Structure 1
Amino acid sequence: MSRVSGEPVGAAVTLADVREQALSVDEALTAVRHPHAGGVATFVGVVRDHDHGHDVASLDYSAHPTAVDVLRRVAEDVAARHDVVRVAAVHRTGHLEVGDLAVVVAVSAAHRGAALEACRDLIDTLKGTVPIWKHQLFADGADEWVGMP
C-alpha cells in the first residue's frame, strides 16, 4: 500500500486463525510489518507449569466451530478502536505441553503507544470473547476447565 504524507493508512487484519499446529511469533510479526509502522507490540501466551497452586502437567484447548470468525471480528473491532496499521492473532487448539505457545497476537502502529494499547486490548478481548476453552491437567491427577460458558 503506498501512502501519501498525511493520508490515513486504514488498519488491516492480516492474520486471524485458530489451529492445532505450533504457533510462530515470526509469522505474526511478518503479518503486521508495514513501512508506515514504527512500532510493533506482541503478546505471546505460553503454557506455564502452575495454576491455582497446582502443578500443571499439560492442557488441551478446544474451540467452537465459530472461533475463527469470532477472532477475526474481535481483531477488526480492535483495529477500528485504535490508530493502528495491522493486526494479527492466532490461537492454538489441541494438546499442549508446558512451554508451548498457546496464543500469539501482534499489532503495528505508527508509534509504540498505540501499538501497545491495541495489543493489550486485543489479547484481553480475545480471551474474554473468542469461544476457546482450556482443559488443564494437573500433575496430581486433578483437572479443571477454564473459560466454559
Structure 2
Amino acid sequence: MSDFGFGMWAGTAVNDTSSVVAAGYSYSEKAGGLATIVKLTRALMIVPVCLIFALLMAREKANSGAGFNFRKIFPWFILWFVIASIVNTTGVLPEPLSQPLGSCGKFAIVMAMTAIGLNTRLGELVKHGLRPIFLGLCCWAAVACMSLLVQYLIGII
C-alpha cells in the first residue's frame, strides 16, 4: 500500500487521534502527515454535526412546547477546540508560548488515556457480556473495510 493509501486508511479507519498519529508515522513520514490531516478533518466535522443536531433538537422542543436551553445541550469543548486551533494556526501566540502549551496538551492527552486505561476493568466488561465488545469489534471492522473499499473504488489502492 502506498504512503498516501495508508495515510488515508489510518486517518479514516483508526478512531483515536493519538493512535492515528502513531500508526501513520510508524508507516512513514508522509503517511503520518496525511493520516493526521485526515483525522483532524474528521474531528473538525464534529462542529457542524453538533450544531445541526442542536438546532434540530431546538426545533423539536419548540414544536412540542417544552422549554429548551441551547447552552445545556451544546458541547462547549468543541468551541474551545476550534478557538485553540485558530489561535495556533494564525500564529497569534508566539512560538515560545505555543510550543510549551502544545506539550502540556500532549501530556494531558496521555494522562486522560492513562486514566481511561486504569479505570477499565476487563472483568466488568466480561461480566456485562461479550455482546458490547463484539459490537465494537464489528463497528471497527466495518469502518476499516469501508475505508479500504472507498479507496479501491476511487483508485487510490
Which of the five TM-score ranges fits, normalised by the shorter chain?
Answer: under 0.3
With structure 2 as the length reference, what TM-score do the two structures score?
Answer: 0.22
Give 1 or 2: higher helix fraction: 2
Larger radius of gyration: 2
With structure 1 as the length reference, what TM-score do the two structures score?
Answer: 0.23
Give 1 or 2: higher strand fraction: 1
